[in-house]
Amino acid sequence: MNFDPYRQSRREFLSQAGNGFFGAAMTYMLASDGTLRAAPTTNPVPTLPAKAKACIFLFMVGGPSHIDTFDPKPALVRLHETKHNFPAYGPIAAKSGVLKGSPFHFSPHGQSGIEVSELFPRLGACVDDMAIIRGTFASSDNHNPATLQMTTGTIRQGMPGIGSWIYYGLGTENRNLPGFVVLLDSPPYSGTLAWSTSFLPPRFQGTVFGRGNRPVANTRSASNIPEDEQRQQLDALNALNRSHLATAPHFPELDARIASYELAFAMQRDAPEAVDLSKESAETLGLYGIGNDPKSSKPLPSDSFGRDCLTARRLVERGVRFVQLFHGKHPGWDTHGNNDGGHRTMCGQTDQPIAGLLTDLKRRGMLEETLVVWAGEFGRTPLAEGSGRNHHSSGFTTWLAGGGIRGGVVHGATDELGYAAVEGRTCIHDLHATILHQMGLDHERLTYRYNGRDFRLTDVGGNVIREIIA
């Protein structure tokens, strides 16, 4: 019998609604007592042997300078304040100006002896767990398209974020929390497009978590209705929605609405607990740089991002598949006017939190199954812009750690002045292909048909960086 709400008798309506209420209630009761486990929603794509169960993506908003952090250039230091002409390189126009060497000292760290800037003393101690990719390059020197490329695989608007692709392909291991969570110290230049689901089913959208006891708005009843009564109301609403969905199977927005109601109900208890750092030990808080400066009683520079990094660990610990952190309150890493001072500030805010995250994951036995990615939208030029540096996409540094990545290795290189990637050239599609591979997804087979063609995160390119895989 076809469901038509406008031509249905009262008896037919009550009969179908009763069946729906019974099904929804039975599903909830079975799931609640553990008899029925909520199966992850997955794309029917054959998966690879996964090295990582979760990914934490640390995005430095504005573009950190590779030649002041992870890519030492002694030749650039020697030629400091001399004029130089760089030819056009790929899509990047020719550039001329005065060279600016880094004022920061680089020194070898760990057993691998990888050189890291003095700006990252604690993170430098973690290099034996990191694969540093010094030959990364992108397609744009402008913030918005470059951010989109790093987060969605293309400089164009309207494509799903990498977190949505992974959530779509693998589902989630915790039905009471979103599979894709965004933590915002500062929003990126592309705004919400960086974690949009675009044409993928809406349920795979990234969910922004705030701080405090209500990380997601409207997850608690405004009228303080008891939980059992909320459950009854939600079961009734879901029965009606699913009855309607049966007549409109190609209505992903309604499917997402049903899922969001269920998730919101579940998150009333689990989400506040997941972001509650009060039960963490003083030693753990200190590891992440969380706390107040004893001299001023003000929060430490690392406090804010430290809280985000610790929250990220707690989320993946609870089965969240992908956590994306954005750091760099304006101007953040976009150091046009004061590159040296700006990087001292930005690195001071992130050095201890990121090192703490890697250390904490490792000592808990989680780093082996958690992939950590560090990147900005691009690097910064070896030419001076007053006391700053301009945007630079023809060569910069990204790094990965954990999740089956070989630690203590450097892949690729820029030229002696840090201008262009000349060895081990790694495009953004290569980086994304490698992330998907470590998560157990073949980037060429993770596709979604939309408007008559198959789309994928890596479009028609991308190669897994085999040299950095353990």
Least confident of 27-41, 347-361, 421-435: 27-41
Buried b (16+ CB within 10 A) or exposed e, 407-421: bbbbbbbbbebbbbb
DSSP H stretches of helix in 213-328: 227-247, 252-274, 282-287, 303-317
Q: In the prediction, which pLDDT does 2 show? A: 43
Q: In the prediction, which pLDDT does 404 show? A: 98
Grade residue 14 by pLDDT with cuts at 50, 70 and 90. very low
Task: Specify the length of the chain in residues.
Answer: 470
- What mean pLDDT comes out for the span 99-120? 98
> In this structure, what DSSP letter does residue 354 have?
H
Dist. CA 436–CA 344, nearest whole Å: 33
Domain membership of residue 221 (yes or no) is no
> What is the phi/psi pair of residue 256, to 5°?
-65, -35
Q: In the prediction, which pLDDT does 32 show? A: 39
Q: In the prediction, which pLDDT does 215 show? A: 72
Q: In the prediction, which pLDDT does 70 show? A: 98
Among 346, 353, 344, smallest CA distance to 330 is for 346
pLDDT over 70 (residue 24): no
pLDDT over 90 (residue 31): no
Mean confidence (pLDDT) of the chain? 86
pTM of the model: 0.84
Q: In the prediction, which pLDDT does 155 show? A: 97
Domain membership of residue 223 (yes or no) is no
Grade residue 36 by pLDDT with cuts at 50, 70 and 90. very low
Q: In the prediction, which pLDDT does 18 show? A: 44
% of the chain beyond a pLDDT of 70 = 78
Domain membership of residue 248 (yes or no) is no
Q: In the prediction, which pLDDT does 469 show? A: 98
Question: What's the number of domains the chain is made of?
Answer: 1
- What mean pLDDT comes out for the span 430-448? 97
Is the peptide bond between 331 and the residue preceding it cis, with omega within 30 degrees of 0?
yes
Residue owning tokens 């010094």: 134
Domain membership of residue 17 (yes or no) is no
Among 247, 272, 250, 258, smallest CA distance to 203 is for 258
DSSP-derived 3-state class of residue 215:
coil
Q: In the prediction, which pLDDT does 174 show? A: 87
Dist. CA 259–CA 38, nearest whole Å: 12
Domain membership of residue 65 (yes or no) is no
What Cα–Cα distance (Å) separates residue 446 from each residue in 34, 83, 162, 455? 31, 48, 11, 8
Buried b (16+ CB within 10 A) or exposed e, 61-82: bbbbbbbbbbbbbeebbebeee
pLDDT tens for 213-230 read: 667 765 555 556 665 655
CB burial of residue 460 (10 Å; 0-12, 13-18, 19+): exposed
- What mean pLDDT comes out for the span 109-130? 98
Domain membership of residue 67 (yes or no) is no
- 247 vs 186: which has the higher pLDDT: 186
Dist. CA 77–CA 312, nearest whole Å: 37
Residue owning tokens 């036995």: 365
Tokens matching residue 123: 């993170």
- What mean pLDDT comes out for the span 376-397? 97
DSSP-derived 3-state class of residue 291:
coil
Domain membership of residue 89 (yes or no) is yes
Grade residue 172 by pLDDT with cuts at 50, 70 and 90. confident
Grade residue 243 by pLDDT with cuts at 50, 70 and 90. low
% of the chain beyond a pLDDT of 90 = 71
- 92 vs 23: which has the higher pLDDT: 92
- 15 vs 230: which has the higher pLDDT: 230
Bridge partners (DSSP) of residue 299 are 292
Range of the domain at 457: 76-212+275-468
Full DSSP string of 145-178: HHHHHHHHSSSSSS---HHHHHHHHH--S-TTS-
- What mean pLDDT comes out for the span 299-327? 97
Domain membership of residue 70 (yes or no) is no
Tokens matching residue 99: 């060279």
Tell me the CATH number at 428.
3.40.720
Grade residue 325 by pLDDT with cuts at 50, 70 and 90. very high
Dist. CA 370–CA 106, nearest whole Å: 28
